[in-house]
């Protein structure tokens, strides 16, 4: 199938924040915490929101784009750091996020004749096709923008909003709060006050770092104890030339069926149950992990799964959910690949994932000093990770033209993670985004579908 034609750029904009009121408490500079520093040079998070509308080009440029620009400017008044840069100038001993008057967010306005419905579908599509619709962060050794945006019209069919976010500046929860804030202001005509749950909290004193993890992580990135090499250049991960992106749905019925099957196998095989609750998250990640290891034909002594953990409610004292920045860490689990690909693979995966999550009760920051070194010591291709979360409510991001038809986390094509999100129909189902090579994608599609039938109690013969 032919790739979409490159987009036609209609306008390259610089959107400045509306000047804040004199009594504004939004800071113009923020120190990076150890949570931020951990992710300092990772490649940006990129995501696409597709909206189905019937706007011709003239209406799009005269009504939609001005409305998006105006509401973005107003939103940035509450999110000044997003118009700034992550900087590490010679005057600073550590990197910071800094906004100075005159800073703006890059907004590309474009038009494309690509097939909107194919791009916003679920079937596996070539990952390179999405590169036309997400912006890039133009980085340097000393300065990297926090955010870049692109709005692309598919005439008379729909439009997309794509973003690239510096992961060292904020995590998925903070990014989603910004998108919901922008949509909230856009739907209300602009001049309105954000609700408390959409108002970012910038208090860095909430993040306590008694072990000086920030310095530990900085030393890893520069490779020197003296911190002389202050490069902020982002890691340039390459997308495999045959990478494919696909989306799969686990309905609530699917999840409950697999959950019952797992409990049944635990009882039948007398597997020691983890003390943690067998949650939907555990089931979804276990099932996806097993399908991916089988599809990729990973044959290794151990395979690993990294799980991102939102620390806001797990720290002592806890951090409010509106905290702006990164407040995530990771926990990992592993299992022999032969066990994972055997008949009890999903049950075993659910057990070890549940145990890893249960272990967080001992402290989410326990043994995090060597977190990076332990992660990079894992051989290539044996570590899978997770991007996004169903709790982010991507499909509630309504700018006034309805809910998104599709939300696609495109950056998994570089990281090899699989993504999780809420479902577009508003049900309790979960959408799973997958990035695989072409031959692996065909295997995964078959394994995912057949597994939903085999992981049902009435089809289990033991």
The Cα–Cα gap between 436 and 245 comes to 7
**Annotation marks residue 398 as catalytic:** yes
**Annotation marks residue 180 as catalytic:** no
The Cα–Cα gap between 211 and 216 comes to 9
The Cα–Cα gap between 460 and 446 comes to 19
Intra-chain end-to-end CA distance of the chain, in Å: 44
Q: How many CA atoms lie within 13 A of 60 on its CB side?
A: 23
From the candidates 122, 242, 334, 398, give the one annotated as an active-site residue: 398
From the candidates 132, 166, 167, 180, give the one annotated as an active-site residue: 167
Catalytic residues: 167, 398
């Amino acid at each position: 199938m032919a790739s979409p034609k490159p987009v036609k750029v209609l306008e390259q904009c610089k959107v400045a924040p509306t000047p804040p009121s004199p009594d504004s408490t939004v800071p113009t500079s923020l120190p990076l915490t150890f949570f931020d520093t951990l992710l300092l040079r990772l490649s940006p998070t990129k995501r696409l929101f597709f909206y189905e509308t019937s706007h011709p080009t003239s209406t799009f440029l005269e009504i939609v784009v001005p409305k998006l620009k105006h509401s973005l400017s107003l939103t940035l008044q509450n999110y000044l750091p997003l118009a700034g840069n992550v900087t590490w100038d010679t005057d600073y001993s550590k990197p910071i996020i800094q906004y100075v008057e005159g800073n703006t967010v890059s907004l590309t306005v474009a038009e494309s004749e690509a097939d909107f419905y194919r791009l916003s579908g679920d079937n596996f599509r070539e990952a390179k096709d999405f590169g036309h619709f997400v912006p890039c962060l133009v980085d340097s050794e000393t300065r990297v923008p926090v955010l870049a945006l692109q709005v692309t019209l598919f005439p008379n069919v729909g439009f997309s909003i794509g973003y690239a976010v510096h992961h060292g500046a904020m995590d998925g929860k903070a990014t989603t709060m910004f998108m919901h804030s922008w949509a909230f202001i856009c739907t209300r005509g602009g001049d309105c006050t954000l609700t408390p749950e959409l108002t970012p909290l910038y208090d860095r004193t909430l993040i306590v770092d008694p072990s000086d993890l920030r310095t530990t992580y900085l030393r890893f990135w520069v490779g020197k104890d003296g911190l002389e090499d202050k490069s902020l250049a982002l890691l340039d991960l390459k997308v495999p030339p045959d990478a494919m992106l696909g989306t799969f749905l686990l309905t609530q019925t699917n999840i409950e069926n697999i959950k019952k099957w797992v409990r049944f196998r635990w009882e039948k095989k007398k597997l020691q149950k983890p003390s943690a609750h067998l949650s939907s998250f555990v089931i979804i990640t276990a099932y996806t992990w097993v399908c991916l290891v089988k599809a990729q034909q990973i044959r290794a002594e151990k395979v690993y799964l990294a799980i991102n953990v939102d620390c806001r409610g797990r720290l002592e004292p806890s951090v409010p959910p509106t905290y702006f920045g990164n407040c995530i860490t990771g926990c990992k689990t592993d299992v022999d690949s032969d066990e994972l690909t055997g008949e009890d693979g999903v049950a075993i995966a659910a057990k070890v994932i549940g145990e890893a999550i249960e272990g967080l009760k001992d402290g989410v920051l326990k043994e995090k000093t060597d977190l990076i070194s332990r992660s990079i010591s894992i051989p290539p291709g044996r570590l899978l990770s997770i991007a996004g979360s169903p709790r982010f409510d991507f499909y509630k991001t309504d700018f006034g033209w309805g809910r998104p038809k599709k939300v696609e986390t495109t950056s998994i094509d570089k990281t090899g993670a699989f993504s999780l999100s809420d479902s577009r129909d508003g049900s309790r189902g979960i959408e799973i985004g997958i990035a695989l090579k072409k031959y692996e994608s065909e295997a995964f599609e078959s394994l995912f579908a057949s597994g939903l039938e085999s992981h049902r109690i009435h089809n289990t013969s033991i």
